[in-house]
Amino acid sequence: MSKHSLYDAFNITRKVNDFSNLSDYDIFPDKKLLDTLRTKIVENLIDKEMPSDKTVSEFINDEIDQTVFGYDLTNLERSHLYNLIDNEINGYGPLTELLKDKNITEIMVNSPDEIYIEIDGQLIKDEGVSFINDEHIIRTIQRLIEPLGRTIDAANPMVDSRLADGSRINAVIPPLSTKGPVITIRKFKESMASIDDLIRIGTLTPYMARFLEAAVKGKLNIIVCGGTGSGKTTLLNILSSFISHDERIITIEDAAELKLKQNHVISLETRTTNYESGDEITIRDLVINSLRMRPDRIIVGEVRGKEAFDMLQAMNTGHDGSLTTLHANGCEDALNRLETMILMAGLEIPVKAIREYIYSAIDLVVNIDRMSDGKRKVTSISEISGFKDDVLELNKIFEFKQIGLTDNNEVDGEYILYEKVPKVYRKITSRGVTDVDDIFEPFLKNKKSSKTDN
């Protein structure tokens, strides 16, 4: 038997529920024959309409009969071939089962036979899935984006949108991609729906969770930062769940991924020039427009350009409790990037004034990282405490410090609560939120004792 990837057992359970202990090669030992038969049928299907007098099952079986005539296939081999063709007609080709699998968080198609998946933060090359050729990949992209009202072709060679389940799809084809069509799908993971889920998997501690909940209820303005795939949107979605149901919330995203369950939510989504008609509508356009919609809070899925200034302006003009994310390698880097974004807006504002604007607008910066073992952790919760030599200074409230790696190469470390009362604690309690009094009261008592002793 051929050697398979670590994913094989998982892969086969996905494809052949009745034969979960078998591999692809066990199902169809002659892989070359399988590829040949599949190619013949799929290429024939592309240009053929299904007859109105046949069911899908009858149509698939007829196509298989014509193609495999002269070949001696077992029932299991024929069933496997049937499932592959059924996925072409009723699903999304080779990606059908990957999209259904709840354990997979990301799918990356680099070429017809180079497909990677992410499971538990680990990237694995899936040896059991392949496309016939580049045209097959493009056909699958078109099947995925057609219900979204999007198109992809030489004139519009890039698409970035979201599927019906909330998963994010990005596809690029030639001439932008020199290697051929490329697909990246970041799946919406329903299992990470609450702060308790994040506590359970060790992303943060119960104290940190309670503090972030109190911060949202206390209407602090919060930036969630981190690298690509670190879990920023998941964390933002969970933080948003703490907003009261009696508030009017405006969400602004490139592709709507947030799943807010409050009663009064208005979701706005950008529009690119990939549409058949109409001008491009940017994040900045939507942020500016949202200010005319009487929002209590504004949530921007991600700031990465000129809209940063408009977002800060909203935070500075009565829209407390607003939330956003940005790409950065830590809290300090997030503030530096924010400065750069505001400068990109072309406003003639001194850097010192920009920093003062950021200081008056942002209360908390929360950094989340994907660690070397693939697990996500909130590595820092910091407040902007003031200035030092005209540079914004951060005060860490919680931090994850890595000690090393375990024998299983899992990240080993500890969460730290710094023994001091953050400035934002007063702001939280002034809004009537007392959920974290027990966390910080011991430090308040210590502070009072120190003053008495002096």
Beta-carbon neighbour count of residue 111 at 10 Å?
15
Same domain, 330 and 210: yes
Q: Report how far residue 212's alpha carbon sits from residue 387's, in angstroms, rounded to the nearest whole number.
A: 24
Q: Average of pLDDT values for 22-43?
A: 67
Same domain, 363 and 226: yes
Same domain, 183 and 201: no
SS3 168: strand
Q: Average of pLDDT values for 116-145?
A: 90
Is residue 276 domain-resident? yes
| Residue 1 confidence (pLDDT) | 32
Burial class from Cβ neighbours inside 10 Å (0-12, 13-18, 19+) for residue 107 reads buried
The alpha carbon of residue 105 and the mean position of all alpha carbons in its chain are separated, in whole angstroms, by: 9
The H helix count followed by the E strand count for the chain is 16, 15
Is the pLDDT at 6 greater than 90? The verdict is: no
Residue 134: pLDDT band (50, 70, 90) is very high
Same domain, 151 and 245: no
Q: Which of 132, 164, 189 is the last residue of a domain?
A: 189
Share of the chain above pLDDT 70, in %: 87
Q: Indicate the DSSP class of residue 146.
A: G
| Residue 423 confidence (pLDDT) | 94
Q: Give CA separation, 417 vs 172, 368, 380, in Å.
A: 44, 16, 10
More confident residue, 164 or 332: 332
Same domain, 161 and 215: no
Helix axes 331-344, 307-316, angle to 10 degrees: 110
Is the pLDDT at 21 greater than 60? The verdict is: no
Q: pTM of the predicted model, to two decimals? A: 0.77
pLDDT digits over 75-88, tens only?
887 888 888 888 88
Is the pLDDT at 428 greater than 80? The verdict is: yes
Q: Indicate the DSSP class of residue 394.
A: E
Is residue 97 domain-resident? no
Query: How does the average pLDDT of the chain come out, rounded?
Result: 84
Pair 403, 412: CB distance under 8 Å: yes
Is the pLDDT at 415 greater than 90? The verdict is: yes
Same domain, 274 and 174: no
| Residue 438 confidence (pLDDT) | 92
Q: Report how far residue 7's alpha carbon sits from residue 324's, in angstroms, rounded to the nearest whole number.
A: 36
Same domain, 108 and 23: no
| Residue 313 confidence (pLDDT) | 86
Is the pLDDT at 140 greater than 90? The verdict is: yes
Pairing of strands 249-253, 265-269: parallel
Instruction: Specify the range with the lowest mean pLDDT, choosing from 22-26, 293-297, 441-445.
Output: 22-26
Share of the chain above pLDDT 90, in %: 49
More confident residue, 390 or 120: 390
Closest CA to 24 of 68, 83, 71, 65: 83
Same domain, 180 and 231: no
Q: Give CA separation, 168 vs 27, 102, 112, 185, 186, in Å.
A: 32, 15, 21, 6, 5
pLDDT digits over 320-350, tens only?
999 999 999 999 999 999 999 998 888 888 9
Is the pLDDT at 13 greater than 50? The verdict is: no
Closest CA to 95 of 68, 131, 60: 131
DSSP string, 78-114: HHHHHHHHHHHHHS-GGGHHHHH-TTEEEEEEEETTE
Selection from 126-140, 301-315, 356-370 with the highest mean pLDDT:
356-370
> Per the structure, how many domains does the chain have?
3
